Amino acid sequence: MALISLRQLLDHAAENDYGVPAYNVNNMEQMHSIMEAADQTDSPVIVQASAGARSYAGAPFLRHLILAAVEQWPHIPVVMHQDHGTSPGVCQRSIQLGFTSVMMDGSLKEDGKTPASYEYNVDVTKRAVEMAHSCGVSVEGELGCLGSLETGMAGEEDGIGAEGTLDHSQLLTDPEEAAQFVKETRVDALAIAIGTSHGAYKFTRPPTGDILAIERIKEIHARIPNTHLVMHGSSSVPQDWLAIINEYGGDMGETYGVPVEEIAEGIRNGVRKVNIDTDLRMASTGAIRKHLADNPKNFDPRKYLTAATKAMKDICKARYEAFGTAGHASQIRAIDLEAMVTRYDSGELDPKVN
């Protein structure tokens, strides 16, 4: 199985009513945990690299990490996606590196902090789409800014996110504007704002409909039922790992994430890609803290990194099962990017939006 495009995978997910977790990768242990879990559950994979990952590991290492996974697990279809591209140029460089999918996040300006106008967003996204589709590569766009409906703060903890306070109209994607945006840009998938934010500190209490707007997903899906929706900031912030981190010397405050049942409700309403980074960070940190506390004589990193891999793998498996991804890898036959170019050129993949 070669690498496949995001569009191919999300079309399959929509036809078969499931969602796919998109995990951020920075190192071999994350990659192993994602792939081992996919192998054990027969799940197709989306792995994504952020700008932070590129500066941590270096683009060549990231690229070969993902290609190594494809070589080691040849029966698992893998989408190699660039997370939060801040300009068409960033997307172009990822396409040159071999990514099969890019996110053009034009909801923010090129600094990744300043909210952009609708017109700016359409302009940069359209440019990225023209370039990517001519290579058979998929594009995810974003409309609306990620951020907390509790505080109005975007929380740019992970280097991507608006600065300062935003009002509700910026924090919730408008269904009519979403339809216009998809029509104008021809994106393959659309990230929407519904009150989630990046990182561990999403909600100060278990979220209810006023701070996690699942109803808004339903409204957007009703307006653009043929568009694949993407939820960012979708870690569930596992309370068991939070407790372990704190028990073994960590200092994380009380905080809550997006419950898995709410994500499942999103998937029943058009969400096809679910971005998860923080949950794997928490599981690996908790497992390493615990391993080192329980084994004070150990100085072999392979031992505590194996504990981290297992902890992350358990989360990956649970998400593949809860999102309905499990069981679908073996149903997918790869369409190469050349063939995707032909499909874009023929108009077959044009957005179906009235």
Residues lying near ligand G3H in the complex (CB under 6 A) are found at 24, 50-53, 83-84, 158-160, 198, 277
What is d(CA 106, CA 116) in angstroms, rounded to the nearest whole number? Answer: 7
User: How is residue 318 written in tokens?
Assistant: 């649970």
278 binds ligand 13P (CB under 6 A): yes
Nearer to ligand G3H, 53 or 337 (CB): 53
- What is the full DSSP assignment across 188-200? SEEEE-BS--SSS
The footprint of ligand 13P on residues 34-93 (CB under 6 A) is 83-84
- Which of the listed partners (ligand 13P, ligand G3H, Zn ion, none) does 52 bind, with a CB threshold of 5 to 8 Å by partner kind? ligand G3H
Matching residue, tokens 């029966």: 75
**Cβ count near 10 (within 10 Å):** 25
DSSP letter at 150 equals T
The closest alpha carbon to 107, from 122, 93, 96, 95, belongs to 122
Q: Which is nearer to ligand 13P, 179 or 312 (CB)?
A: 312
Rounded to the nearest whole angstrom, what is the least distance from the CB of residue 74 to ligand G3H in the complex?
28
Tell me the residue number closest to Zn ion, measured at CB.
232
Tell me which residue has its CB nearest to ligand G3H. Answer: 52
Considering only the stretches 55-63, 133-141, 231-239, 289-297, report the one whose residues sit in contact with ligand 13P under the rule CB under 6 A.
Answer: 231-239
240 noted as active-site residue: no
Amino acid at 236: S
Neighbours of 167 (CB within 10 A): 9
Q: Which does 234 bind (CB under 5 to 8 A by kind): Zn ion, ligand G3H, ligand 13P, none?
A: ligand 13P
Task: Please report how close the Cβ of residue 212 comes to ligand 13P at its closest, in angstroms.
Answer: 12
As a whole number of angstroms, the distance between CA 111 and CA 164 comes to 14
Helices (H) and strands (E) in the chain, counts: 14, 8
Closer by beta carbon to ligand 13P, 220 or else 231? 231
Residues 231-250 that bind Zn ion (CB under 5 A): 232
Shortest spacing between CB 311 and ligand G3H, in angstroms: 18
Residue 62 CA to residue 333 CA, distance in Å, equals: 25
Separation CA 66–CA 54 (nearest Å):
13
Query: CB under 5 to 8 A by kind: which of ligand 13P, Zn ion, ligand G3H, none does 228 bind?
Result: none
> In angstroms, what is the minimal distance from the CB of 158 to ligand G3H?
4
DSSP, res 87 = S
Catalytic residue among 11, 17, 42, 83: 83
Q: From Zn ion, ligand G3H, ligand 13P, none, which one binds at residue 159 (CB under 5 to 8 Å depending on kind)?
A: ligand G3H
Task: Decide the pairing of beta strands 271-276 and 101-104.
Answer: unpaired
Stretch that binds ligand 13P, among 1-9, 123-131, 177-185, 273-281 (CB under 6 A): 273-281
Q: Pattern of binders to ligand 13P over 159-198, x per CB under 6 A?
A: ---------------------------------------x
Q: Which of 234, 284, 309, 325 binds ligand 13P (CB under 6 A)?
A: 234
Give the CA distances from residue 197 to residues 194, 270, 352, in Å, rounded to whole numbers and listed in that order.
9, 20, 29
Q: CA 47, CA 256: separation in Å to the nearest integer?
A: 24
CA dihedral 306, 307, 308, 309 (to 10 degrees): 50
The C-alpha angle 3, 8, 12, rounded to 5 degrees, equals 120
Total residues interacting with Zn ion, rule: CB under 5 A: 2
| Residue positions annotated with a catalytic role | 83
Which residues sit at the interface with ligand 13P, rule CB under 6 A? 24, 83-84, 198-199, 232-235, 275-278
Which residues contribute to the site for Zn ion (CB under 5 A)?
232, 275
